[in-house]
Structure 1
Amino acid sequence: MATPLNADRLVAALKAEGCTVHEVPGWRTHNRNHKGAWGPVHGVQIHHTVTGPGTDVVGLIYNGHSALPGPLATGCITKDGVVHLTGNGRANHAGGGDGRVLQAVIDESYGDRPPATQKHDGSPGAVDGNARFYGWECENKGDGKDPWPAVQYDAMVRATAAICRAHGWGPKSGIGHLEWSDWKVDPRGIDMKDFRADVAERLAHEPDWNPGKGEDPMAGMTKQDIYDAVWKTDQVAAPDSAPDRKTNASWQPQSYLKDIGNRVRSLTVTVAAQSAAIHALAEKVGSGVDTNTVVAAVERAIADAVIKVDIDVTQNQES
C-alpha cells in the first residue's frame, strides 16, 4: 500500500530525475478528492491529449471541459518536454478499468504486457482508476500520425521513472490507458512494452543519469574518423613561399606538414652537398687548411640559422 506523494516530494522527485518542471499556479490544492478516494496509489498511467496546435493544452488539462471537470491528470507533458503540474491528488484521467490489471500492476507479475483488459468506465465490476493511479496527459493528436518528439518522450520516461523510484516501484507500475480500459487507445504511437523497458533502463541508474554520460567519447571511432576530425578542417590560403601556389592555392593542415617535410629533406640534401664541396675545395687548395674545421664551422652556421628560423616561427604562432 503506497501513500501518495505530497506536492513537495513529487516536485523533488521529478527534478532529481532531470525533468523540467512547471508548477501551474494553484496545482497544489487542485484535485477531485471531494468526489472519492485518492490512494492508496499503485502506478502511473500514460495518456494522449487528442489536441493539435493552437490548443491551450495545459489549460485544458488543468481546467477540464464542460463534460469533464479538471484536473484531468497529475500533469501535462508538452511536446517541448516540459512537465506542467496540474493537479495534486485525485484527477479525472483513468476512469474505470480492469481489476486484474490493477492486481498485475501491484504485483508487477506480468510479462511484456498486463492481462488484456475487459473493463471500462461504467462496466460491471470496473475498478476506479482515478483513486489508484497518477496520470500524465501527453500532448499529441492521438491519430497515430502525430509524432512524439524525442525530448517529449524522454520527459515522459523520466516523469514515470521519478514516481516509480520515489515509491520503490519497478517499471511495470507504468501502463498505458489502453491497458486499463478496453475503450481506450492511448497513448497511440507508443509501444508500452518498449516504454517500460526505457523506464527500467532509467531505474537501473542514479536519478541524474543521462544516456552517454561517462562514456568514452572516442568509442567506436575509426582511424579514418580521427583523421577527418583532425585534418579535414577549413582550407586556408597557401603561403606566398609555396612552390605549388599556382596549382594548389588553398591548403589544409596536412599541406603544411608536407611542405615542412619537403623543406627538411631539401635542406638535408643541400647541407650534404655543401659539406662535400667544402671537402673537395679544401683538398684542392691544400696549404695546411683543416678541412674538418671548415666543414664544422659551416655546419654550425647553418644550425644557428635553423634555430633562428624555428624561434621566429614559434613567436609568430604565439602572437
Structure 2
Amino acid sequence: MAQPMSASKLVEILRAEGVTVHEVRDWRHHNRNTKGPWGPINGVMIHHTVTSGTAASVDICYDDYSGLPGPLCHGVIDKKGHVHLVGNGRANHAGLGDSDVLRAVVDESGLPHDNEADTDGNRHFYGFECINLGDGKDPWPEAQKEAIEKVAAAICRHYGWSERSVIGHKEWQPGKQDPRGFTMDGMRARIAKRLAGKGGGTDSGDHKPAPRPAHAPFPGSGFFHTGQRSPLITAMGRRLVAEGCGRYERGPGPEWTEADRTSYAAWQHHLGFRGQDADGIPGKTSWDRLKVPAVD
C-alpha cells in the first residue's frame, strides 16, 4: 500500500544516495495521471532507451516516442551516471505485464517467467530509462551502472523494500529485452550490497563479514503466536509506541499478547491496510516499514 512520493521527496532521497540529479523543464507537474491511476507503488523498473546522446534521449523521454505520449519514465540515467528527472506521476514506461510477476515483487519472492500481459504496470512502478542502444554492443560505463544501483537503492530504502522490488522491463512484459547488456540478478546483488551499507559496485574480492543489519529482518508471521517470548517482541512494541500505535496498559514486554496484536493492527491501519490485512499479525511489508531494531 505504498503511496507515491512527492517530487521534492524523490529529489531528496536520490541526492542523499549520492546521485547527481537534473530537473528537466516542468517535470514536477508532467505525468499521465488523467489516463489512469498512479499507485499503490510496488517497485522500480529498469529500461534501456534504444537511443544515443543525452540531450536527445532526455527530450524523447520527456515528450514522446513514435506516438507514445510522454513522460516515458520518471528519470533518464545517462552514460555519466547523472539522472534527469522527466516525470512525476503516472508515466508510459511499463505497459501491460504479468500479474504473477507483480505478486512476486510485492511478496519480494523469486520472479516467475513473464508469460501474460494482464496488469497495468504504469500504475505500480517507478521507471528509469538508461541511455543505451540495446544492441548488446553499446557499453555500460561503470558510472551508469552505479547510478542505476543508487537510484534503485534510494527508492527501496525509502519504502523499506529489498532488492527484489527492482526488476527489468524484460522480466515484466513478454517479448521485451531491456535492459540488455547486464543481468538484473547482478544488478539486484549490487543493490542488496548498497542497502546493507557496503555500497555496490563490482566484486572487489573483499570477503569481510557483513555488518549486522540495523533493522531486524521479518521473522515470518508464524513467529507471532500465544506463548512466544522474545526480545524482538519488546523491540517491536517500543517501535509501535514510538509511531503512536501503542495500545498497551503495561509494557511492552517480551511475550506476545493481545495488546501486541491490537497495537500492530493500529500500525497496519496507519499504513492503509484494511480487513484481513489489518488483523494485527505482522506481515513483511508492514514489518519492514516499522524498522524494528535488530536485537541479540
Normalised-by-shorter TM-score class: 0.5 to 0.7
Contact map agreement 2:49 2:132 (CA 8 A) in 1: yes
Q: How many angstroms does 1:53 deviate by?
A: 4.1
- Give the match for residue 100 of structure 1: 100
- Give the match for residue 41 of structure 2: 41
Change (3 A) 1:210 1:97: closer
- Of the candidates 113, 118, 121, which is equivalent to residue 116 of structure 1? 113
Amino acid at match of 1:139: I
Change (3 A) 1:87 1:55: closer
SS of residue paired to 2:52: coil
Contact map agreement 2:169 2:177 (CA 8 A) in 1: yes
Provide Cα deviations, 1:17-72, integer angstroms capped at 9, x if missing partner.
00000011200000000000000010000000001248600011111134101000
Distance 2:54 2:15 in 1: 28
SS of residue paired to 1:151: helix
TM-score, normalised to structure 1, is: 0.61
Q: How many angstroms does 1:183 deviate by?
A: 1.6
| Higher-Rg member (1/2) | 1
Say which is worse superposed, 156-165 or 62-71, in terms of deviation: 62-71
Distance 2:96 2:81 in 1: 28
Q: CA RMSD in A?
A: 1.8
The correspondence of residues 155-304 of structure 1 with structure 2, limited to 5 A, is 155-205=147-197
Amino acid at match of 1:97: G
After the TM superposition, which segments of 4 or more aligned residues of structure 1 sit over 2 Å from their partners?
A: 52-55, 209-212
Change (3 A) 1:52 1:173: same
Q: Percent same amino acid among aligned pairs? A: 56
1:9 aligns with 2:9: yes
Q: What is the count of residue pairs matched by the alignment?
A: 203
Distance 2:165 2:63 in 1: 27
Change (3 A) 1:205 1:95: same
TM-score, normalised to structure 2, is: 0.66
1:69 aligns with 2:69: yes
Change (3 A) 1:151 1:97: same
- Gapped runs of 5+ residues in structure 1? 121-125, 217-319
Amino acid at match of 2:65: H
Say which is worse superposed, 134-143 or 54-63, in terms of deviation: 54-63
SS of residue paired to 1:22: strand
Contact map agreement 2:163 2:192 (CA 8 A) in 1: yes
